[in-house]
Amino acid sequence: MDITLLGTGSPLPSPDRAGPATLLRTGTATLLFDCGRGVVMRLAAAGVLPLGLSAVLLTHLHSDHISDLNDIVTTHWVMSPVPTPLRVVGPPGTQGVVDAVLAMLALDQKYRLAHHATLEAAPVIEVTEVEPGDALEIAGAHIAVHRTDHRPVTPTVGYRVEQDGVVAAVAGDTVPCPELDEMCGGADLYVQTVIRADLVQNIPNLRLQDILTYHSTLEQAALTATRARVGTLVLTHYVPPMQPGDVEEWRALAAAHFAGPIVLGDDLTTVSITKP
């Protein structure tokens, strides 16, 4: 199982970090979690085109996590040699988002259908709205849906993915909660979005400081990993954007609370999990 941090950014624009997106590849499944700005470019850099995705799984419907869903939809559609459904999984409300994306793209689709003889139908999107407690089988991977806590954004979910005895827990924006601990329990790898509370608190912007109430800090993510006996902690969605040369400083804050391997990196950082 390979995990690639396609986008490690946040709503704060960064020239070096695309929006939140994580790619998980098993022997049979290629899963995209969230699709922030620049996701198709990062997918291409990782050697995957939207047509190669088994599914897109959304953790929640905040704009920075879905802003380039439209690019996934259009690129998947235009590059498909024959009509091929795109599977999108997400919490309640996902169907409405997909319907709105298709409505936004209606004129584009009209133009392309009129011009390309080999395009005979509009995109087909198969939406599955999920609740905590649901389970899915996608391309040989078993996926369990768990509640996370990003209130007042609700519902939000995380995903526990298992195949051939390897387990990855992928969370979106959330604060620690019992359901998150359950999702991560004994996982080989845990992906968590994080903020640096000490830095955010020093920024004189009340709107930015509001994020402290509904995102995991580095320390909180590390404590979750320790409680859940996680193998490797993978951190992403850095707020504020992690600057060159600051990786070890960020790592030390998490390492004070988690003794295992901690991965922080630029976009396209990849972690591989293997078991005998």
| Catalytic site positions | 64
Distance CA 39, CA 44 (A): 9
Tokens coding 44: 């291409």
Q: Nearest to residue 59, comparing CAs of 237, 218, 178?
A: 237
Q: Could you give the angle at the alpha carbon of 68 between the alpha carbons of 262 and 224, nearest 5°?
A: 25
> Are the beta carbons of 148 and 158 closer than 8 angstroms?
yes
Q: Is 229 left (phi over 0), alpha (psi -120 to 50) or beta?
A: left
Residues 6+ apart with CB under 8 A from 92: 129, 131, 155
